[in-house]
Amino acid sequence: MNRTLACKDRAPEVITALLRRARTGSVRDTLANLGAYVFRDGRLVDSVSALSRDSAQSTERRTRYLELLASYVDCHAAVDDYPGWQNRLLILAATTGQCGAHYEQPLPRDVRARAHAAITWMGAHDPDAQLRELSRRVAEQISDTRD
């Protein structure tokens, strides 16, 4: 992963392939998620947006993509999708974990807007009703955190 991240030209392509194909819970899956959080780049945001729209991806993976997109919009945002989220007023938690010195934050406004648009799309079109509602609420709440 270190070599992948060092190669800025190919990193989005490699990370996207891992996100798409790695078996859930595997080492590759863990590395793909880590890489997606660490490598802040408009191309990767666009790739994660495309994956979030792919109904062939499992609901679990699309939920992960929602979490990634939220962190791309606001590096302080973490989606609280733990059981009972439907009854909580706020489903975004503030975190400092995604805003460390190694992260290139904030992303440019237009890139953050594209990530927000993908979340909004999920809130209107995701095939899973619960993920659709979670996405809708994230899109609504995260818009208040963007500058």
- pLDDT tier, 39 (very low <50, low <70, confident <90, very high otherwise): confident
pLDDT, position 101: 47
Which two structure tokens, joined as six digits, stand for 147?
A: 């500058």
Which helix (DSSP H) or strand (DSSP E) does residue 79 occupy? Answer: strand 77-79
3-state secondary structure of 25: coil
pLDDT, position 138: 96
DSSP 87: G
Distance, CA of 143 to CA of 56 (rounded, Å): 28
Q: CB within 8 A of 56, min separation 6: which ones?
A: none
Predicted confidence (pLDDT) per residue in 81-138, tens digit: 989 988 888 888 877 655 654 555 578 899 999 999 999 999 999 999 999 999 999 9
Which one is predicted more confidently, 9 or 70?
Answer: 70
Distance, CA of 130 to CA of 109 (rounded, Å): 29
Average pLDDT over residues 30-57: 93
